Amino acid sequence: MVSLRSMPRWTAEADVVVLGAGLSGLVAAVTAHEAGAHVLVLEKMGPDRAGGISRVRYPQIVWAPRPEKLSALIAYQTALNEPNPLPEPELRAWAEDMVGLSPWVGEHIAAAGYVWSPWDASVLNWVPGPEFPEMPGADCVDRLFAAGPGSGGLWRAFAALREHRGIAIRYDARAFELVQNGDQSVAGVLAREGNQTTAVRAHRGVVVATGGFDAAPELLRDYMGFAEAYPIGSPHNTGDGFRLLQRAGAAMWHVRNPTITGGVWPAIKVPEHAAAFFAAQNLGVGSYIEVAKDHRRFYAETGGWNRFHNKLQRFGGWVDQPIATMLPVHMILDDRVRRACRLARPIYWNAEMEHRWSADNSVEVAKGWVIQAGTIAELAAKIGRDPEALMATVERYNTDARLGQDPEFGRAPERVAPILEPPFYALALVPGLVGTTGGARRLPDGRVLDHDDHVIPGLFEAGELGSPLANLYENGSFLTEAIRSGRAAGASAARARS
């Protein structure tokens, strides 16, 4: 942290300074502005890449529980968070916000000219209902929403509101340090704009809403134990807010949970792009398998893992798919799969912002991202695997697949087909993250706590960074929390003592 005494001159000022123009930051800015505060948003990226993962046009699902489900919601979220419990009064306050959120969101979405409506489950072939129906209170998951038309309306609506209301934003302004008084209270923030350092005075508070740290390999390694993992979302969420909060003396929480809240997904990382492609799962043609470091299969590749955020029910509980612990992992496929099934999903960050994967994978084969060979033995040699071992795995799978069976892992018969038609291909799969929840410990109203459980005056947090949600993830709750916490932090900051 920088102390106020050692500060150069302030170069800008506002009542409330919001760091990050993702969904949570924009909601905080709009809310603080509605409460009469003079607001300034500092956003690290330029207008074409600002907005983090919130700006991408994926099927953004928002979980909006009904008020009459309050008790069920408290029970359900207690079960999801179990290893990292929230204190009861905080959980209740959070749940009360959650069940009261939908009308407020609907009004704001409509004011921006967008539509807030029940989510169409057929878009993702999603089975409506809770991800963990066996848990107490699961029936609180009975209402999902989305902002349209099309996908991605949620962020666009709040971005439009910020603009219509004349709330100031400085793009290409990377916040890196808070300025604090001797009593720890936050007086402002330093940001890098090109070669310049901007010192912004915050009369009431700073809201840190800089998203997750899934694009910070050293934080993923040091705090979450990932030797290798990549963002499927924004490659610009490099953990700046995480470090800034640590330096300010905040207590951190929810960094490493027994399961990774948003899941550990098969992803495709290529040198040309900083984020990973979201690998397609459950392909329509069955002549493919996935093999681990030991050249053997490790699960039913066509299972409906999507439905549980890539978690497996094991040992009486839930665990993450173990892809991160068994690298290298390769998908091995034949030419029928290559021709018919796009190997990366055509949505999410890379697909929208950088490169849309070709439907028949031919572009990616030509780029060398998908390795091609005439035989399995040749393929094994090209990807550094033992040819005998890989051939044995393929032959074992093929022997059963010719009979329409998968006794080893129980793939459904219609999803089983032998890998026969050359050329053959290998695609390296790596762990991909949709987000991280670690960050500063915050109260439901967004105030940040230090290591002695004291509030750090003038400091607020919102969104995925420091989310109260930990461990198991219910679909739609990240976006709801981005809105809920943005609204809470924006309101708290606006009424904070100057």
Binding residues vs ligand FAD (CB under 6 A): 19-25, 42-45, 50-54, 58, 60-61, 174-175, 209-211, 232-234, 236-237, 240-241, 348, 434-435, 463-465, 476-479, 482
Q: Which is nearer to ligand FAD, 39 or 232 (CB)?
A: 232
Structure tokens at 482: 């981005």
Q: Which is nearer to ligand FAD, 131 or 334 (CB)?
A: 131
Please report how close the Cβ of residue 370 comes to ligand FAD at its closest, in angstroms: 21
Please report how close the Cβ of residue 49 comes to ligand FAD at its closest, in angstroms: 7
Question: Following CA atoms 207, 455, 75, 132 in sequence, which dihedral angle do they give, to the nearest 10 degrees?
Answer: 50
Q: Which is nearer to ligand FAD, 54 or 471 (CB)?
A: 54
φ, ψ for residue 84, nearest 5 deg: -125, 70
Length of the chain: 498
Q: Which is nearer to ligand FAD, 266 or 435 (CB)?
A: 435
Q: How far apart are CA 304 and CA 281, in angstroms?
A: 8
Please report how close the Cβ of residue 85 comes to ligand FAD at its closest, in angstroms: 21
Q: Do β-strands 168-170 and 39-42 pair in parallel, antiparallel, or remain unpaired?
A: parallel
Give start and end residues of each alpha helix (H) in 332-382. Answer: 335-340, 349, 362-366, 376-382
Q: Which is nearer to ligand FAD, 48 or 134 (CB)?
A: 48
Q: How far apart are CA 30 and CA 231, in angstroms?
A: 28
φ, ψ for residue 406, nearest 5 deg: -140, 70
Contact in structure between 60 and 479 (CB atoms under 8 Å)? yes
Contact in structure between 277 and 351 (CB atoms under 8 Å)? yes
Which one, of 494, 493, 434, 497, lies nearest residue 467 by Cα?
Answer: 434
Q: Which is nearer to ligand FAD, 154 or 419 (CB)?
A: 154
Please report how close the Cβ of residue 444 comes to ligand FAD at its closest, in angstroms: 16
143 φψ region: left (φ > 0), alpha (ψ -120 to 50), beta (else): beta
Give start and end residues of each alpha helix (H) in 23-140. Answer: 23-34, 70-80, 88-99, 101-111
Please report how close the Cβ of residue 471 comes to ligand FAD at its closest, in angstroms: 15
Structure letter (DSSP) for residue 276: P
- As beta bridge partners, residue 176 has none
Please report how close the Cβ of residue 58 comes to ligand FAD at its closest, in angstroms: 5
Please report how close the Cβ of residue 211 comes to ligand FAD at its closest, in angstroms: 3
Angle between helices 153-164 and 23-34 in degrees, nearest 10: 40
Q: Which is nearer to ligand FAD, 63 or 397 (CB)?
A: 63
- As beta bridge partners, residue 460 has 207, 447
Please report how close the Cβ of residue 271 comes to ligand FAD at its closest, in angstroms: 21
Please report how close the Cβ of residue 278 comes to ligand FAD at its closest, in angstroms: 6
Q: Which is nearer to ligand FAD, 52 or 444 (CB)?
A: 52
Q: Which is nearer to ligand FAD, 72 or 207 (CB)?
A: 207
Q: How far apart are CA 461 and CA 450, in angstroms?
A: 13
